[in-house]
Amino acid sequence: MSDNKIYDFTAKTFHGLEKILASELKKIGASEIKTGRRAVSFQGNKETMYRANYEIRTALNILQKITYFKANSSEELYNKTKNINWNNYININDTFSIDKTVYSDIHKHSQFAALKTKDAIADFFTENFKKRPSVNIKNPDKKINLHISGNKCTISIDTSGDSLFKRGYRTAKGQAPLNEVLAAGIVMLSDYKDIEYFFDPMCGSGTILIEAARIFMNVPPLYGRKKFGFHKFPDYDYQLWNKVKRNADKKINKDIQIKIIGTDIDPELVKIALKNISEAGLRHHITVHNKDFLNTKFENKNGLIITNPPYDERIKSSDINKLYKETGDTLKKGYKNWSAYIFSGNLNAVKHFGLKPSQKLELYNGKIECRLIKYDIF
Ligand SMILES: C[S@@+](CC[C@H](N)C(=O)[O-])C[C@H]1O[C@@H](n2cnc3c(N)ncnc32)[C@H](O)[C@@H]1O
C-alpha cells in the first residue's frame, strides 16, 4: 500500500478500555475514530498503522480491513471470499490461520464459517497458481480475521501478528498475572498526575509497575518487541518502520521524579518481578521488596497505590474477605493522604474493604467481570 493511501482499521481491546483506546488513537493522528464493544474502528495510512502497533498501550490487535460484504449462506461466504485477490496479502509459501468472531443466525456454526473462509483462500491459490499456502494455527505468518454479524461479513488481516499484550519483557509469570494491556489501561484510567510515590503492594510478577513506569517515562509499550505481523506484508516499508520507532523512542524520558515501588508477600514472586523489570530495562527505576503489605505504613507522602489483590476462587471466601478487610484497614491506618485503586474480579470480597469508594469502574478481564475502585484516604 502506498504511504498516503487511507485504510480502515479496527483496534481490539478489553471491555471498559474503549474510550482510553480512542483517545490514544486520536493522539497518533488516526481519523474517523468510532468506539464499539471491545473494539475501536479508525482510519489511517501505513504510518498510522505502524504507530498504532508500537505506541498504543490499550490495543490487543490492530486489524486492517480487506473487504466487507453480505453473505446469506456459506456458499456466498465462500464465493465472495474466493473473489478477493489473496495474492496481495498472502504469499504462496506463507502459512496462515483464520480467527473468527461470529454473531449470526445464518452462520450458526462459527467453526464452519471459518472452514469455508480457509477453503476459499486455499482454492483461490490452487486455481490460480496450482499451489496453496498451508494452515498453521500456532505460529502463522498471516492471521486472517473473519467477523460476522448477521449477514454482514468483514474480512481483515491482523497487522500485529502476536497480540500486543506480548510486550516482550515477561519471561517469567506468577500464578495470576494481569494482562499487560489491562494493566496499562488501569494506570491510564487513574489519576497519576503530581504524585511522589507509585506503589503496587501486591505486585506479583510486576506488570502494573512496569506498565506504569513505561507510561510515566514515555517508553513505547512495545519497546522491546522484535516481531509484528506487518513485517511480513508484501509492502512492508522498513525505512518507515524505523522512522516510526526512532520518533517514538526519542520521547523516552527516564529522568522522572516519581518513585516506583512494589512489594509482595511471596519471595518467589519478588524474584520473578525483578527478572521482568530487568528484562524491561527498568532495574534502576523500580524497587521491589518481599513484604506483607498488612505490616506496612507510609504516611505523609503524596502517593498513589494501584494493586490487584488475589481474587482466586481457590482461596476460601472467609480468608479472601478477611484479606480485603485487613487491606482496607492497613490503608486507613498507614496511608493518610494517599489514593488507592483496587482492581479485582471478586465483587463480593471488595465489599469487605471498609472504605468509602470515590469512584467505581466496570472492566472485564476476558470473561471475568471486574471493578476498578478508587479510595481517597483521609
Ligand atoms: C493477583 S496477584 C497480582 C498479580 C500481578 N498484578 C501480576 O501482574 O503479576 C496477587 C498477589 O498478591 C500477593 N499477596 C497476597 N497477600 C499479600 C500481602 N498480605 N502482602 C503482599 N502481597 C500479598 C500474592 O502473593 C500475589 O502475588
Q: Mean pLDDT of residues grouped by 10 in the chain (378 residues)?
A: 82 97 98 97 98 98 98 97 97 96 93 97 97 95 97 98 95 82 98 94 97 98 94 96 98 96 96 96 97 91 94 71 96 95 94 95 92 96
Please give the backbone phi and psi of residue 319, each rounded to the nearest 5 degrees, phi first.
-70, -45
**pTM (two decimals):** 0.95
End-to-end alpha-carbon separation of the chain, Å? Answer: 56
Nearest to 185 by CA among 204, 217, 216, 208: 208
The residue with cell 449470526 is: 104
Q: What is the pLDDT of residue 171?
A: 83
Q: Whose CA is nearest to atom 16 of ligand 1?
A: 265
Ligand 1 mean position to 176 CA, how many Å? Answer: 9
Q: What is the pLDDT of residue 300?
A: 75
Q: Which domains does the chain have, with CATH numbers?
A: 7-158 (3.30.2130.30), 180-219+243-376 (3.40.50.150)
Q: Which pairing describes strands 134-135 and 152-158: parallel, antiparallel, or unpaired?
A: unpaired
Q: What is the pLDDT of residue 7?
A: 98
Ligand 1 mean position to 91 CA, how many Å? Answer: 46
Return the SS3 of 352. helix
Eight-class DSSP state of 93: T
Q: What is the pLDDT of residue 1?
A: 46
Ligand 1 mean position to 333 CA, how many Å? Answer: 20
Ligand 1: residues within 6 Å at CB?
A: 174, 176-178, 201-202, 204-205, 207-208, 263-266, 269, 292-294, 308-310
User: Which atom of ligand 1 is nearest the CA belonging to 327?
Assistant: 19
